[in-house]
Amino acid sequence: MVNSALMAAVFLVVCVFTNVTAQLVTYDQFVNAVTSSSGYGAPSLEQYNNLLNRAGNGQITTKRELAMFLANIIHESAGLTTKEEWGPPPAGTYTSSDDWPGRRYHGRGYMQLTYGYNYKAASEALYRDHRLLNDPDQVKTNDAIAWDTSFWFWSVNVHNAPGVQSGNFGTTILKINGDRECGNSQSNPTVARRRIQIYEAVLRSFCIAGDSVDCSNPCNCVIPTGSSCSGGGESSCKQTYTVQWGDSFWAIANTYGMTIDQLQTLNPEIADPSTIYPGELICVRH
């Protein structure tokens, strides 16, 4: 039997964690990032809301990492216009011992989830059941699930990879597509450089573009970030902190060298600093 208190705590963490991108990116920035980088039409409000509501599954708490994630998603999904691998490939492709009879586990979702073992792992981690093994088409037909699985893949394979938290966008390409784009083929770097072009456009849309860099090796490329917008176009919060069990508002303020009043100024939506919850996102740097 699952402990009901534990399940309630998990539910609370997941629900409150959704604040992360609400503090990091606006709807206008999201639309501009997609349209300016891919040439496709504007994404829907549903897609934006699902980005906000599912971002906790990717452990993303900084604007730069969100830009890295979105740039790769834009490339993988043709500007958020498709959630299934083109074709799709014939039966017998992407088979594994975890497959259920009659199901196909080709690329679906914004990050193109493949193979039964990945559908199984994502389903267990996200929903604690095998719904995605049973009905893999949900990953393309349900937009929230398409974001869920994409953030899950990022969390497991990209978020903690060496260099990612230091801004190495090239590492994200390597972890997502490996030798396909970062191998010895002379044609592969062209695809990787296209991802970098999208990333630079997203950085500009997010108002954090820095100096341009000529990345001779697109799979080992750090693009500096900065502040590239003025006025109301820039979201004010640059870094968030996830509240842990036992944290207090005072302790968080002290950790980041602030007074309680200064921290509350950064988080005006928190009316009562004595009632913060595990999983809640607190802005700690403008």
76: annotated active-site residue: yes
The label of the residue with tokens 């994200």 reads 172
Residue pair 78/40 in contact (Cβ under 8 Å)? The answer is yes
Using only C-alpha atoms, what is the Rg of the chain? 20
Residue pair 60/20 in contact (Cβ under 8 Å)? The answer is yes
Residue 123 backbone phi and psi in degrees, to 5: -65, -45
Amino acid (1-letter code) at residue 95: T
Considering the candidates 46, 65, 76, 200, report the single residue annotated as catalytic: 76
Long-range contacts made by residues 187-195, C-beta under 8 angstroms, separation at least 24?
A: 189/218, 189/219, 192/218, 192/219, 193/218, 194/75, 195/71, 195/72, 195/75, 195/169
The 3-state DSSP class for residue 280 equals coil
Residue pair 256/263 in contact (Cβ under 8 Å)? The answer is yes
Residues forming the active site: 76
